[in-house]
Amino acid sequence: MQDYIRDLEKEEEEHKRIQKERIRRGERKNRDAFRKLLEEHIADGVLTAKTQWRDYCLKVKELPQYQAVASNTSGSTPRDLFEDVFEDLEKKIIVVTTSVFEDFKSAVLEEAACETISEINFK
């Protein structure tokens, strides 16, 4: 009788583990779908380095990708995912801006008359 009860308990534990894993995978898919939406919005110009979360949220709160992530019981929230993507977007802009500035500075310095321009005036 005890072996039968232990088998039932093991079966129940395994069932719970499988259910928990299924939920975890589903929530991960929800986050991935929302990240994809964020990336599409960056590519389309809907989401830029100047976009505020509250403004973006108003645009996407009715979309299924947002709704799915918002209903997750664990993991990153829609705002967390937005902030991660937004931070990456800001880093890319800084690199591009710096690169453009350096190219501009090199081009200007090639002109003999401009060799004495200070760093402050360049910026």
What's the mean pLDDT when you consider all of the chain? 85
| Mean pLDDT confidence for 4-15 | 91
- 23 against 89, higher pLDDT: 23
Residue 121 lies in a domain: no
Residue 14 lies in a domain: yes
Residue 76 lies in a domain: yes
| Mean pLDDT confidence for 24-29 | 96
Residues spanned by the domain of 97: 1-116
Residue 9 lies in a domain: yes
- 27 against 90, higher pLDDT: 27
Residue 41 pLDDT exceeds 80: yes
Residue 49 lies in a domain: yes
Q: How many domains are contained in the chain?
A: 1
pLDDT for residue 19: 95
Residue 70 lies in a domain: yes
Cα–Cα distance between 115 and 123 in angstroms, integer?
15
Query: Quick one: the chain helix, strand, coil %, rounded to 5?
Result: 80, 0, 20
| Mean pLDDT confidence for 72-99 | 83
Cα–Cα distance between 34 and 66 in angstroms, integer?
6
Residue 119 pLDDT exceeds 70: no
pLDDT confidence band for 39 (50 / 70 / 90): very high
